[in-house]
Amino acid sequence: VTNPSSDQAQVNDLAAVTTSSTGAVVGGSVTGVLPAIVNGLGSLSVGLSNTVRQGTGIRMTVSFTPVDAVPSDGRLIVTLVGAGFACGANTAVTFLSPAGASGSVSISAGLVLTLQLSGGVFSAGGLVQFWFGGVTNPSSNQSQVNNLEAVTTLSTGDVVGGSVTGVLPAIVNGL
């Protein structure tokens, strides 16, 4: 299957029917869901200042290059593989790019990182890079992840772009 070449919104009322061999309608539905077709995030990367398991006070750096512009009140949601990452709710972030951007992050259930943007211009094709401190690493070792999943969204939650090729470093034993 080849996806469409342009974006399309999610469809929540997809209609379908089943028919008999003579073409008579046997059953149907108008409640099917077809997911949105979106552009990517380009080279999503999550870095850690220290990759030792149970490390505290870690600085996490996140970078990506959205194919489509992200609104200044949008979100980036990243699924961190391996439960156990933590930071304070609504932790302030420091943007390295774009200049003047602002937002805060939270990590829920130890594995879902949400960046809530509160200002800035996030242009299509422009590097977005930010960091925040106070992260606690998982308590167990884990291998490097090369298929990290993430999406950018509007403030309404509608998906703007997505990626399944992000990188998260391995969590290891200390020396």
10-residue mean pLDDT series, the chain (175 residues): 66 83 86 67 89 96 91 94 88 96 94 95 93 96 91 90 89 86
Q: Can you give the pLDDT at residue 8?
A: 63
In single-letter form, the type of residue at position 48 comes to: L
Three-state secondary-structure class, residue 126: coil
Residue 103: per-residue pLDDT: 97
Chain centroid, CA 55 distance in Å = 23
**Angle formed at CA 93 by CA 161 and CA 56, multiple of 5 degrees:** 110
pTM: 0.79
Q: Cα–Cα distances in Å, from 25 out to 10, 21, 172?
A: 26, 10, 58
Share of the chain residues as helix, strand and coil, in percent rounded to the nearest 5: 0, 55, 45
What phi and psi values does residue 17 have, to the nearest 5 degrees? -135, 155
Residue 145, number of CB atoms within 10 A of its CB: 18
Residue 35 per-residue DSSP state? P
pLDDT of residue 75: 95
